[in-house]
Amino acid sequence: LGSVLQNSMVLSAAIFITLIGLIVYLHFVKVDQESLLIIGSLGIQVTSSYASGKESTTFIEMSQVKDVVINEAIHMQKVIYYLCILIRDPQDPQGVSEVVPLFQSSKPRLDCLVEVYKSCQEILDQREMAPHSS
């Protein structure tokens, strides 16, 4: 009888730990949707919505943005493409201090990335054309 009770407790603990792990995964890891909002005069907002409903938002001021590029990497004998924001180095205006990858969970295809890239470049080009106020 003691062995059955002990096995039951071990099984209950394993189920409990599994449920806690699933909740943590859904709340902090499983990204359901990613979005990118660019406003030329303000900046870039990146939002990740998790399966639990939690949202994580990052805002990058336009003055910090050097460029938006499509980068490539080799992963598991496969070339993958990803969109990233290059952050201007405050010490060196020609340099890059940080690379912020976008859409890391959804991993869109290259043709989708190209469309987003073109839209980003249109907005960034308008920013370059606008007269700078002092």
Give CA–CA dist 41/100, Å, rounded.
20
pLDDT at 134: 42
Cα four-point dihedral sign 23, 25, 30, 36: positive
Bridging pattern class, strands 31-39 and 55-61? unpaired
Average pLDDT over residues 46-66: 89
Residue extents of the structural domains in the chain: 1-129
Look-up: residue for tokens 């059955």? 4
Q: Phi and psi (nearest 5°) for 65?
A: -85, 120
pTM for the complete prediction?
0.70
More confident residue, 34 or 29: 34
pLDDT at 75 over 80: yes
Average pLDDT over residues 59-78: 92
Give CA–CA dist 46/86, Å, rounded.
14
pLDDT range class, residue 131, cuts 50, 70, 90: low
